[in-house]
Amino acid sequence: MIELSEEILLRMYYKMNQARFFEEKVDYLFSKGLVHGTAHLSIGQEASGVISCLALEKGDLVSMTHRGHAQAIGFGLDVNLMMAEFMGRARGYCKGKGGSMHIADVQNGNIGANGVVGGGFNLSCGAALTQKYKKTGKVVLCFAGDGATNQGSFHESLNLAAVWNLPIVFLIENNLYGMSSPISKNMNIENISERSGSYDIPGLTIDGNDPIEVYNTVLKALRYARAGRGPVLVEAKTYRYNGHSKGDAQVYRNEEEIAEWREKDPILRLKKYLQENRVFTDKQIQTMANEAHKSIETALKFAMESPEPEITSVLEDVYA
Amino acid sequence: MNTSEMKKMTYRDAIRLGMTEEMRRDDNVIFMGEDIGIYGGAFGVSHGMIDEFGEERILDTPISEATIVGTAVGAAATGLRPICEIMFMDFVTFAMDALVNQGAKMRYMFGGQSQVPMVLRLPAGSGTGAAAQHSQSLEAWLCHIPGLKVVTPSTPAQAKGLIKAAIRDNNPVCFIEHKLLYKIDDLVPLDEEFIIEIGKTLTERQGKDITIVTYGSLLLKAMEAAAFLAEEGIEVEILNPATLYPMDMKPIVESVIKTGRVIVAHEAAKTGGLGGEIVARIVESDAFDYLNAPIIRLAGLDVPIPYNKELEAACVPQKIDFIRAVHRLIDSEQG
Ligand SMILES: Cc1ncc(C[n+]2csc(CCOP(=O)(O)OP(=O)(O)O)c2C)c(N)n1
Ligand SMILES: [Mg+2]
């Protein structure tokens, strides 16, 4: 077990709160009909989304999913530019062209969220091939959902990464459902990490709602990949509290199940850890949450003040 | 049943009614797709069907589009009549091998031994703020493949009539549904034998001045523009090739002979879009000599669909674009 510094614990708590507040704001804006389109919220998944990114080194890369806000915040994206993108504004990460599902910060190693389920696996192989070829010593963290592991691209990518010894950590956020489908209906295994066996790579299943376990495991997996030993498959078991996307009646699950998972809330878990280990005082903990909250209010203000893109921009950036 | 009985229902409900009637009529019809069971499909098209037909016939699949369509091809070739739903047309990319290299060619390659009676339902189009990977109109790709049929209804009645025809057809039929049409409601015949024949272009409005050829959700915009133009005394004729392949050119050619002016419109990107094909067929036909003005193509910009609402709208033809194009054609002759 890796001893965590105060600084990293503080970052964990701050960023998980930031992700939560960001998504609560997104949810609110939709409920008021203020934003066009849709978004996928990962409220409840902040440990797997945020914390795994905190284990990255500077220069490492990440490929995100359609449910990527927490992943992006963990990776260090600026919530102002994220909110502006979500609102379709010119100052957003993608100049208003991508929206929630396509947030990216390519020059800083965030190769983008993906609207195609399973779309990130082979892109990550390519990004990892670049790292290996150029001997950068950097690793790619590839996020995906449980549902995505039934795409052929998952299997093809794990195989390729294994035989080519590519520096990738595949991080499966297993939130138990792909849209309305419980994993039990779509695969006969209980732990997705078992699929690593077919490719002879390490596979680990962890409590994806335990921030400390997520951090330590991903750090270990990244070290393994960085050492040139090839890919690792990490499965983080977690849960989303909200529906799949806007307008999901959630007929496929019940309130008790959601309530049970709320008991295992990753932010509360970390708070308890901080209190029990007396890392910070209650006042310090509250201050961190307040700061995170403030940053989201600022982000909204930034987004609202950002102009709409010029109509002529619709023709820009099709080609390099 | 009184065969003239009609009921008002949405486009979404009409597709469901058509599928339901066919599943009752023929138990070889099965239905596969992601979240089509208890969830009722991403757009609610299959809502409640699981209650009537159960899990034997309403098959929720893993997220595996290549395998959904490949399985449908294999099942169709061996005696079932599968319907598949691909959640967004954009993901037909995953299924292209099954569709293009297998399903479309099997009968021909095997010298007529097989048949592949299946329907691929494909929700398409922009206007929902879902951005570049969830908004495309890829019908031209499908029309380019000999062996596939491609249909696209614009009204609830067409939705019911065409889905039934597609299910009864002995070939792979791609059934393209525009997402903006799901909530449109209108009268639908309740007759269980109400079928809209595949391979027919529909005359949606008669007029003598200008011909507009369009399909999918643009048909509605063209109809609105025509109503507006009628007040100015311009009579627009609107033709809807609800079967995109094989396209019935006869009514289109006849209309152009009558009006001498034509606008061809679709939401899909202009380059390589079906508009080019339709225009080519018009100029290859007898209508060539009757053209009084250059043909206008209204189409999507050659760009991926952006997220921002204004940019998204700027990418595809709107009602105002139809009105302007009509004015341009009229003016080009006067001037
Ligand atoms: C190729 C493809 N198929 C279907 C969809 C529609 N879709 C979006 S998210 C989703 C469920 C994904 O499940 P999972 O991978 O478990 O991720 P989660 O949503 O649970 O985070 C589906 C079916 C899609 N975006 N891409
Ligand atoms: Mg999932």
| Max Cα–Cα distance, chain B, nearest Å | 66
Inter-chain residue contact A308 with B310, CB threshold 8 Å: yes
- State pLDDT tens for residues B46-95: 999 999 999 999 999 999 999 999 999 999 999 999 999 999 999 999 99
Across-strand partners of A62?
A110, A141
Q: Are A18 and A295 in contact (CB under 8 A)?
A: yes
Please, where in chain B does CATH 3.40.50.920 lie? 202-334
Q: Are A15 and A73 in contact (CB under 8 A)?
A: yes
| pLDDT for residue B334 | 62
Q: Are B147 and B178 in contact (CB under 8 A)?
A: no
Strands B149-151, B173-178: pairing is parallel
| pLDDT for residue A246 | 85
| pLDDT for residue A278 | 85
Fold of B3-189: Rossmann fold (3.40.50)
| pLDDT for residue B3 | 60
Closest-CA residue of B relative to A319 is B303
Tokens of A107: 């020059």
Which helix H or strand E contains A63, and what residues bound it?
A: strand A61-63
Average pLDDT over residues B312-322: 98
Q: What is the pTM of this model?
A: 0.97
Residue B318 pLDDT > 80, yes or no?
Answer: yes
Q: Is the CB of A116 under 6 A from ligand 1?
A: yes
Residue B122 pLDDT > 90, yes or no?
Answer: yes
Mean of the per-residue pLDDT values of chain B: 97
Is the Cα dihedral A67, B42, B183, B148 positive or negative? positive
**Interatomic CA distance for residues A12 and A285, integer angstroms:** 11
**Interatomic CA distance for residues B137 and B34, integer angstroms:** 20
| Max Cα–Cα distance, chain A, nearest Å | 56
Across-strand partners of B203?
B239
Q: Is the CB of A231 under 6 A from ligand 1?
A: no
Q: Are A209 and A47 in contact (CB under 8 A)?
A: yes
**Interatomic CA distance for residues B188 and B262, integer angstroms:** 30
In tens digits, chain A (320 residues) has pLDDT values of 668 999 999 999 999 999 999 999 999 999 999 998 889 999 999 999 999 999 999 999 999 999 999 999 999 999 999 999 999 999 999 999 999 999 999 999 999 999 999 999 999 999 999 999 999 999 999 999 999 999 999 999 999 999 999 999 999 999 999 999 999 999 999 999 999 999 999 999 999 999 999 999 999 999 999 999 999 999 999 999 999 998 899 999 999 999 999 999 999 999 999 999 988 999 999 999 999 999 999 999 999 999 999 999 999 999 99
- State pLDDT tens for residues B254-284: 999 999 999 999 999 999 999 999 999 999 9
Fold of B202-334: Rossmann fold (3.40.50)
Contacts of B79 (CB under 8 A, 6+ apart): B28
Q: Is A171 strand, coil or helix?
A: strand
Backbone angles phi and psi of B3, in degrees to 5:
-70, -15
If you count them, how many residues does chain A have? Answer: 320
- State pLDDT tens for residues B284-296: 999 999 999 999 9
H helical segments located in chain A = 6-31, 46, 52-54, 69-75, 79-86, 120-133, 152-163, 183-186, 211-226, 255-263, 266-276, 282-305
Residue in A98, A116, A311 closest to B314 by CB: A311
Q: Which of A179, A183, A184, A187 for a ligand 1 pocket mutation test, highest count of atoms within 8 Å of Cβ? A: A179
**Interatomic CA distance for residues B46 and B36, integer angstroms:** 6
Q: Are A160 and A52 in contact (CB under 8 A)?
A: no
Q: Is the CB of B87 under 6 A from ligand 1?
A: yes
Residue in A96, A97, A118 closest to B63 by CB: A118
H helical segments located in B32-155 = 49-57, 65-77, 96, 106-109, 139-143
Inter-chain residue contact B132 with A315, CB threshold 8 Å: no
Inter-chain residue contact A178 with B94, CB threshold 8 Å: no
Residue B6 pLDDT > 60, yes or no?
Answer: yes
pLDDT over 90 percentage in chain B: 97
Tokens of A57: 């080194």
Q: How many CB atoms lie under 10 A from the CB of residue B140?
A: 20
Backbone angles phi and psi of B289, in degrees to 5:
-70, -15
Residue appearing with tokens 């709160």: A17
The amino acid that residue A37 corresponds to is: G
- State pLDDT tens for residues B180-223: 999 999 999 999 999 999 999 999 999 999 999 999 999 999 99
**Interatomic CA distance for residues A185 and A109, integer angstroms:** 36
- State pLDDT tens for residues A55-65: 999 999 999 99
Provide DSSP, B223-287. HHHHHHHHHTT--EEEEE-SEEES---HHHHHHHHHHS-EEEEEEEESTT-HHHHHHHHHHHSGG
**Interatomic CA distance for residues A71 and A73, integer angstroms:** 6
Q: How many CB pairs under 8 A join A and B?
A: 113
Which amino acids of B are annotated catalytic? Answer: 65, 134
H helical segments located in chain B = 11-25, 49-57, 65-77, 96, 106-109, 139-143, 156-168, 218-231, 250-259, 274-284, 309-315, 319-334
Q: Buried (b) or exposed (e) across B51-76, using 16+ Cβ within 10 A?
A: eebeeebbbbbbbbbbbbbbbbbbbb
Mean of the per-residue pLDDT values of chain A: 97
**Pick from A235, A255, A253: nearest CA to A244:** A253
Distance (angstroms) between ligand 1 centre and the Cα of A114 equals: 10
